[in-house]
Structure 1
Amino acid sequence: MTTLTRNPARPAPEGRPRNGRSSEARPRLGGTVWLVWRQHRAAFWTLIALTALCVLVMVWLRGQMMDYLGSYDSTPHKSDSLPADFEKYADRMFSVGSYLGYIPVLAGVLLGAPLIAGDLESGTAKLVTSQSVSRLRWLTTKLAMPAALIALSTTVLAAVFTWWWSPVQGRSAALAWTSFFDVTGVTPVAYALLTFTVGVAVGMLLRRTLVSMVVTLGIVVAIGVVWDRFRLSLGHIMSVSTHKGIGPGAALPTLPAQAEQQGQGTYFLTRSGSRLDWTTCLDRSGDDKAHTACLESKHVIGYSMDYLPVSQMHTMQWLGAGIMLAVTAAVVAFVILWGRKRLL
């Protein structure tokens, strides 16, 4: 076994532990674990440092927000809503949430794509696997260590952001739960692992670091577009209706608290229970009486709206995460099967 596959530090003579300490008290990385850490320690330490920095920033910003809310909620005219000048605190939350939304991109492009492509391009993969280390062991370690750090980092960041958002959740329509769907709960963990493994697979196939990073960026952006269009479809859309007529004086349906309106907006509800879209009788909308008469001729008796309740948020997140983790597992299986036979 060469120094590529074990800790190169010289073992202390028997009965004489170095530095006067027992080796059992100082566990060390060995084998392929040590090698992978040594190869990518700069990226790993950067990830750890950025995670710690983001946590500190969010804790500090939450402290400022709670101080403000404490002074506002202690007033005699306290309400469940937030004051108008809370906007700057909401903007900070949106800004941090948007930055956290780039985690999947960074995981795929900066960690996933160069992981194996760099070793293939430099010849390190051939050197390592020519020793006593099997390809399966090397591939497993290369995937497991970065994936574990990514999962840990995103879990911590999502938990801290959720802790920051929780005191104001539901108190402002501007802080809708759909705006933070991808940076809270289990979603960011599964999303980052998916893009990371996709980057690894692209790097293994293309075998060139820079090209792999560019291609991975395009794929990750495409995944983001598909996810943005698909994620709200994971929920069960519900409807609320009125049956008290139409016209200028008729009231529109009231959505439940924190509900997110879906579809085309307000529909016209007919006596039979069917719905007509907002373009119905649009050519007569300039005349209120003519417009109302047109709708009554189509047996319209009220309005209807579609919405997603906040109670479905966690179910939707777990369902979406399950889909992404299933795809991640398939990509990992492909990387291992391909790598065992056609890596070099």
Structure 2
Amino acid sequence: MSTLAPRGLTWTVLRVHRRALLISGAFLALAAVALVWLRTEGREAATSPTSCATPARPGVPLCDAAFFQAPLSDFPGDMSLAATVIAWLPLAVALYAGAVLFGGEMERGTARLAWTQSMTPGRWFATKLALPAVVITAGFSLLSLLYRWARGSAPRRLSDRWYYTDVFVATGPAVLAYGLLALAVGALAGLLVRRALPAGGIALAVTGLVMVLCERWRSDFWTPVEQVWKNSRGELGNSAWQLDMGLITPSGRRIHDCLQPGVPAPPGCYEARSARQWYALHHPGDHFWPIQLVETGIVLALAALATVLAFRVLRRHHA
């Protein structure tokens, strides 16, 4: 028999959760096919005209009945939907890990049965954690890479930017980090609560809370850039994530949104008008990777902390 064949506890875990493996494998295959199709749709959208003219001009077709009746591609909407599914997929991992993978086994007593079969609790927990982690790493990495590949087929036709929450998470290693965090939090909740549904709910809530908090503070993960214009307000590029814009007073104080229509002018606003200096605080497009890596590091650190706490809980109950 080959030494690479799954044996012992590894084979047992695979057999017990084979249905989940089949479902997740089918989902991954369907998602991969969908993203490949989106790549094709994006190429068609990149070459299709979006405007017409009467009379027709070079590169701009005639505004006739055929133009208006031609089916329009919903590539931007399809890509937004794909980003949402990939970005929030860790919530499904949290629910499964808490309710089935750990909480369910603790509630049914199958974990204790395994510990009586010449298997230490630590080895049981490590195997139950390592195998799903491998699946999550491979699956989430593939989905993220395919999404970036499909998104690159027609970037100018997309309505969402790199800093949109779902797009940001789906296009980088952050989605993988959230998947591993969901697994670790699910394991910790399962060992603490020892009941399937409460553990799944707690893991779902904690993972979602971390995702929301990271979204709230994402702009602070890297130092933004300040752009200053004199005499008139300038424009930032389409790839810039604008955080703030306003006027600068002669004393150097920044007045946020000083002259918006229908908004009362704050103190010092009219004084700043005479200075004729505008400022904008933003993240340029090349800040994507620094912010992405910082967020990934924070989430992985939380996942490691949850894993350590889970081992401590297991050791405390079975010392």
Q: What TM-score do the two structures reach when normalised by structure 1?
A: 0.79
Residue number in structure 2 paired with 1:267: 246
Aligned length: 300
The structural deviation recorded for 1:87 is 7.0
Match for residue 93 of structure 2 among 99, 107, 111:
107
- Secondary structure (helix, strand or coil) at the match of 2:230 reads coil
Q: How does 1:155-234 map to 2 (within 5 A)?
A: 155-169=141-155, 171=156, 174-179=159-164, 180-234=167-221
Matches of 2:273 and 2:228, distance apart in 1: 17
Matches of 2:109 and 2:72, distance apart in 1: 56
Confirm or deny that 1:130 pairs with 2:130: no
The structural deviation recorded for 1:34 is 0.7
Matches of 1:107 and 1:343, distance apart in 2: 27
The structural deviation recorded for 1:254 is 1.6
Residue number in structure 2 paired with 1:90: 76
- Secondary structure (helix, strand or coil) at the match of 2:74 reads helix
Q: Quote the sequence identity (%).
A: 26
Confirm or deny that 1:37 pairs with 2:18: no
The structural deviation recorded for 1:72 is 5.0
Residue number in structure 1 paired with 2:304: 329
Matches of 2:107 and 2:192, distance apart in 1: 11
The structural deviation recorded for 1:239 is 1.5
1:11-54 CA-to-partner distances (Å, cap 9, x unmatched) read: xxxxxxxxxxxx33x95311110111111111122111111110
Change (3 A) 1:148 1:268: same
Residue number in structure 2 paired with 1:149: 135
Q: Is the 8 A contact 1:197 1:332 kept in 2?
A: yes
Matches of 2:279 and 2:73, distance apart in 1: 31
Residue number in structure 1 paired with 2:39: 62
Matches of 2:247 and 2:28, distance apart in 1: 49
- Secondary structure (helix, strand or coil) at the match of 2:246 reads strand
Aligned-residue CA RMSD (Å):
2.9
Change (3 A) 1:243 1:68: closer
Matches of 2:158 and 2:251, distance apart in 1: 33
Q: Which runs of 5+ in 1 are unaligned?
A: 1-22, 79-84, 245-250
Q: Which runs of 5+ in 2 are unaligned?
A: 51-56, 61-70
Change (3 A) 1:294 1:315: closer
- Supply the AA of the counterpart residue of 2:103: A
- Supply the AA of the counterpart residue of 2:197: L
Q: Is the 8 A contact 1:267 1:276 kept in 2?
A: yes
Confirm or deny that 1:49 pairs with 2:36: no
Q: What TM-score do the two structures reach when normalised by structure 2?
A: 0.85
Matches of 2:21 and 2:172, distance apart in 1: 23
Matches of 1:145 and 1:281, distance apart in 2: 55
Bigger radius of gyration = 1
The structural deviation recorded for 1:172 is 5.5
Matches of 1:87 and 1:285, distance apart in 2: 42
